[in-house]
Chain A
């Protein structure tokens, strides 16, 4: 078995093993072992990638191609570049952290971990696919378990949120399907055969009319998962109702599929369409950035605050991608990674706070720094990373995005950039507001004095997420180099 197919095989094997477990203890051990192996493989893949890159300068490495449906020229085609390697690492870390955070999942534990791993299988498969059909299959596999995860183990208006999220995302994937078929039937424009292979389609000059028609479909299809304004409404409700680990995985990993898909499929394969529609989606993305920030400012529920902040941060990813230059793209990928770790950390912390105080309403919380110093301190760190303080991952990402965005000299881009940059200020306000109200000040509730300490598994989960945030902030260059190198084909293809 090749090094990449293992990324799909291991979770599947873990799921099979989980089927035969009984009770929480066995289920969580199996899931932990499975996710741990996965993390080891992801780290190993990074080293292997560097080694392979030194001798192999094709766009994708570790490629494998198996014919699946001959008639339609559908292949199971996989391969990675620097971007997908980084995202695979992100995924494996967040999944493992999610397993640790769900250590005490009491209700139907086996089913919970199985659904979680099905989701992660979809995500891994998506990041390694270079065939549109395979990619689409994995995309839907990643989305559908969310319905059960939120519906069964969620809280609040969970039935409503689960249905809303699933229908919006599957509706988006349905639109995407039309886009993919459009690309497929134009992939012989240069006289070749019809193909779903991304690398092959990238060599084809798809007629401009077709690009104009199918770019918005493909873009919207993916971008809904990346919380593109005004299709972001599933995200706050979904995140607020989901159980902790699911919020982590969803905001941390699943939403990254949106940005990745937009970049790898919509923009890479339909570059002229991207240029044509650029202005329209920049307006939407910039609106999302600023709208999400102000939305977060208004909310009292911790999860809603974080969900709106995700809308804002992922708006930045889409915004940067649409800026169509190398620095901004690099920033977009870094922002995806940074936001993945950060938001997963936030949701983990919120889950812990909620588990102890039984409320997520910040007006009812206060003085938490005195009772749960560990959680509170990490919350501050995560907050600082989120508002882009130098030394953390957020800074590196946002710096790149806005430096890149400012390189476009036209007035329209300038205005859009200035509007988006101003969101950083709002971000600082809503983060510090939460820190001030929730962590500082007097202890609002007597009951807080007796809340339990942080356990080892919670600490492990937290540390897993904290290390990369600091690591990316302190030593961003190796990652940045890896991504920049992989941006080369995009620069040739799109610009």
Chain B
């Protein structure tokens, strides 16, 4: 075997190296200067993100267990950017709350292992690798959710996540075993050749779908979402809602469009129903949320419902629009979570009422939040509009006009609750507003990147064309 083949796993190997480096470096850093661990982590991960953009060819390793192509590669880069922003905006929280408990490395190791799991999941060429990736990406997050050990609610959220995740991956594994029973292989390529729509295959597929639906928090597998988001540290909640969801969407899409293509007449209907349920339940439950984390939890459930509109197409247009939407969604949602995190860290407030009059004390932060919410709501000229418009176009291209109609009804419902936050920040006045504060450099840098992303990703059209070109590898 040619060892240069391992370079195909560049992302994975580099990330593993960084994780180990951080682990070792903690030994050498003086205990009064543990804060510099955060600088080191951000620096190393920044390099990792940058290196990821180097070109990579399409190939596979280990007899097809691990595969990579330009699209998979691009998607890993998207995840990297997301995690990088996440690290930037978590830096303050880590330095103030976590590092002095000597748990800084712990955080990074868990976070990076989970990301490593996602890499493997995305790159998987058979169900074994897929399953290992799925587990590796979920289990560390459960530990992360329970990271604020002094808070009961954080432990509760960790327990909830691990129990539901275990159940979900169990169900998924059961489904996979059925698929193996019918097709005699766990390799994606082999299954794609022999799969036929027998009852057992369909049952297996649905069970498998349920496992991923749990990760994307599609209705009816969404019950854990709001509780876990509320209890978990905000960094972890945003990781769950952005990175983890994005990776699961990607692999689900790839599997549906390649392995389960012959079952399209089955999963079309499934996706149709789940999309509607997810949009409506996510949006209707978000209407009355007061806690910002729960609010964003339901909003992110609803957003997942919109993603399914691209999934239903089963063609290249669907792939391109979904990847584009996820990219935009990462920026928008991280911006929203970033503001919530900044405020929570400085003022300790997480309720919507606490945001009353925010614009008059913290105008910049309010503007960032407004852009993020407009992007989530899909209002031009910010990027979210383009993402949603293209998803709807993709669904309409297959003639699903009624589904698009119901989706736009949902866009209007969602606009209501996004405007509630804007109302609190800009219109309402408060006797006791959050006082003016200045976030530290990393947080500001993180928010700046998200704002640039929100403004530029939509208007700069070559990006979409690039993504569309990449998606042709799945043809």
Contact = CB atoms under 8 A, between A and B. Distances in A.
A74 B390 CA distance: 11
Interface stretch (A20-28, A141-149, A387-395): A141-149
Contacts of A140: 379-380, 385
B381 interface: yes
B335 interface: no
A151 B426 contact: yes
A158 B428 CA distance: 11
Interface stretch (A63-71, A418-426, A431-439, A486-494): A63-71
Contacts of B393: 72, 181, 184
Nearest to B469: A71
B412 A152 contact: no
A122 to B, nearest CB: 9
Interface string A175-217: 1011001101100000000000000000000000000010000
Nearest to A121: B381
A441 interface: no
18 contacts: A69-B461, A69-B465, A70-B461, A137-B380, A140-B379, A140-B380, A144-B379, A148-B426, A151-B427, A152-B427, A159-B423, A170-B412, A171-B412, A175-B405, A178-B396, A181-B392, A184-B393, A185-B397
A163 B381 CA distance: 20
B203 interface: no
Nearest to A172: B412
B419 interface: yes
Interface of A: 68-72, 74, 133, 136-137, 140-141, 144, 147-148, 151-152, 158-159, 162-163, 166-167, 170-171, 174-175, 177-178, 181-182, 184-185, 213
Contacts of B401: 178, 181-182, 213
Nearest to A176: B408
Interface in B17-57: none
Given A69-B465, A167-B415, A182-B401, A177 B389 contact: yes
B143 interface: no
B408 A177 contact: yes
B88 interface: no
A144 B374 contact: yes
Given A71-B468, A140-B379, A181 B396 contact: yes
Interface in B431-475: 461, 464-465, 468
Interface in B393-439: 393, 396-397, 401, 404-405, 408-409, 411-412, 415-416, 419, 422-423, 426-427
B141 interface: no
B129 interface: no
Contact of A167 (B412, B427, B461, B468): B412
Contacts of A174: 408-409, 411-412
Interface of B: 320, 374, 379-381, 385, 389-390, 392-393, 396-397, 401, 404-405, 408-409, 411-412, 415-416, 419, 422-423, 426-427, 461, 464-465, 468
A436 B314 CA distance: 68
A208 to B, nearest CB: 16
Q: Decide if the interface of chain B is mainly helix, strand, loop or mixed.
A: helix
Nearest to A122: B380
Nearest to B390: A72
Q: Which 7 A-B pairs have the closest CB atoms?
A: A174-B408, A151-B427, A181-B396, A171-B412, A137-B380, A69-B461, A71-B468
B405 A178 contact: yes
Nearest to B428: A159
A162 B423 CA distance: 10
A174 B413 CA distance: 11
Contacts of A184: 393, 396
A368 to B, nearest CB: 32
A158 B465 CA distance: 43
Given A71-B320, A159-B423, A178 B404 contact: yes
A141 B461 contact: no
A163 B380 CA distance: 18
A294 B205 CA distance: 62
Contacts of B381: 137, 141
A166 B380 contact: no
B419 A163 contact: yes
B412 A68 contact: no
B355 to A, nearest CB: 14
A137 B419 contact: no
A181 B407 CA distance: 13
A121 B412 CA distance: 23
A69 B419 CA distance: 29
A314 B465 CA distance: 42
Contacts of A159: 423, 427
